[in-house]
Amino acid sequence: MKKIDYKEKVKELHLTNFLRAEDGSTDTLLSDVFIDNNSLPELSIDEVRLEKKFFNRNFSRPFYINAMTGGTEKALRINEILARLAKDYNIPMMLGSEKVAVVDNKFPETFTIAREVNKDGYLIANVGATADLDVMKKAVELINANAIAIHLNAFQELINCNGDRDFTSYMKNIEAALNYFKLPIIVKECGFGMSQRNIEDLAKLGVKYIDISGAGGTNFARIESMANAAEDFSDIFDFGTPTALSILYARELKKKYKFTLIASGGIRTAMDAFKAYVIGADVVALGGELLKYVYHGSYEASKDYLDSFSEKLRKLMLITSSRNTGELKHVRYKLKGRLKELWED
C-alpha cells in the first residue's frame, strides 16, 4: 500500500474509513450483563434526574462527547456541530488529537471552532502520550481548555506505517502533566481497552480520571490499516479488552484507589450506557455512533439521537428505581456468557 502524508491526509482518511469500516469485531460484552425487571419501581419519571457532576462541574446530562476529529477541512463542520450540541446540552466536549495543529501548525481552526461556538463551555484538549509538556501546554492554550486528555494508542500507531514505535515516554509524560496542570487530566485508551494492571499503574501514578475506552466500539486498527498500513493486518483486528471487562477491572480497583471511571468504547445506545453505569462506570462518553449522525445527517439528526438516548436512559433508570446515575450502582446484576467466563477466570 502506498505511503501517504500523515500530516495532511490521514486525518481525513480516518473519517472516511470510519464510515466505510464495520464496527469493531470484538464485542463490548455489555450484552452479557443481565438485569432483572423491576415491576414495582415506586418512582415517578419526574423524580429521575439526568443532571450529573463530574470534572468538578455540574452538567445537564450524565455523558459527554468523546474525541473524534480535527486537522482536516471536513473536521471544521463536524466540530462546529459537536460544539453546538455540547453547548445546547450543557455537556463537555473533547477535541480530536491536536498534534497536527500545535506541532505541525496545520488546520488550527478545526479545533478553535469549538471555543468560538461554545465560548463558556467545557472543552477538553487532547494529545497523545508521546507528547511532551510543551506540546500539552500548547494544546490547552489553543482552545483555552478546561481539562486535558492524554490518549494511549500504541496498537493503532504500530499499524500505521508512519506511526510511533517508541512508547517508553508514556508514563514519564503523564507524570509530568500531573505535576504541572491544575486542571483535570484524563488518561484514555483509544478503543482497545485497559487491563487491570494498566488501570492500577495509572491509579498509582495519581491519575484521577481514567477512560478505559474498551474494545467493541470504533476499531482503529481497521481504520488505520485502511488509511496508512504497509501490509494486511486483518488477522489481528479482533484484539483488545472488551469494554464491559475493563469496567469491571476498574470498578474493583476503585475500592482501593480514588479515581473517576469513564466508560467508552461501543456506548451506542441508552442500554449500553445503562449497563455501563450498573457495573461501575461513573460517567460515559459517546463517540462513533454520534459521529455517524453528524457526518451523515445534520445538527438536527444528531440532536434527535441525543434526545432519544437521554429519554430512554431515564426510563431504564426509573424501572430500576434509580433517581440518578449514581443509584444505578446499587442495581443488582448477573454476568453471563463470555463476560462471566473472563471475569471469573
User: Across the strands, what pairs with 189?
Assistant: 152
188 annotated binding-site participant: yes
Residues 6+ apart with CB under 8 A from 233: 159, 221, 225
Distances (CA, A) of 303 to 7, 97, 110, 242: 32, 24, 21, 28
Annotated binding residue 229: no
Q: Is 31 annotated as a binding residue?
A: no
Q: Is 171 annotated as a binding residue?
A: no
135 contacts 167 by C-beta, under 8 angstroms: no
Q: Is 193 exposed, middle or buried (0-12, 13-18, 19+ CB in 10 A)?
A: buried
266 is in an annotated binding site: yes
> From CA 255, how far away is CA 267, in angstroms rounded?
24
Those residues with Cβ within 8 angstroms of residue 14's Cβ, 6 or more apart along the chain or in another chain: 69, 223, 224, 227
Cβ–Cβ < 8 Å for 325, 52: yes
**Does 267 appear as a known binding residue?**
yes
The string of DSSP letters for 78-103 reads HHHHHHHHHHHHT--EE----HHHHT
The verdict on whether residue 336 carries a ligand-binding annotation is no
Cell numbers at 328, concatenated: 444505578
Measure Cα distances from 193 to 113, 215, 217, 240, 340 in Å.
Answer: 30, 5, 10, 6, 17
CA distances from 1 to 23, 161, 225, 231 (A): 23, 10, 10, 7
Q: Alpha-carbon distance 188 to 194, whole Å? A: 9
268 is in an annotated binding site: yes
116 marked among binding-site residues? no
Query: Has 194 been labeled as part of a binding site?
Result: no
Whether residue 98 is annotated as binding a ligand: the answer is: yes
Would the annotation count 320 as a binding residue? no
**Pick from 192, 212, 191: nearest CA to 200:** 212
- φ, ψ of residue 281 to 5 degrees: the values are -65, 145
Q: Is 67 annotated as a binding residue?
A: yes
Give the other-Cβ count within 10 Å of 36's Cβ.
10
Under 8 Å between Cβ of 154 and 116: no
Annotated binding site for FMN: 67-69, 97, 126, 188, 213, 218, 266-268
Annotated binding site for Mg(2+): 157
Annotated binding site: 67-69, 97-99, 126, 156-157, 188, 213, 218, 266-268
Annotated binding site for substrate: 97-99, 156
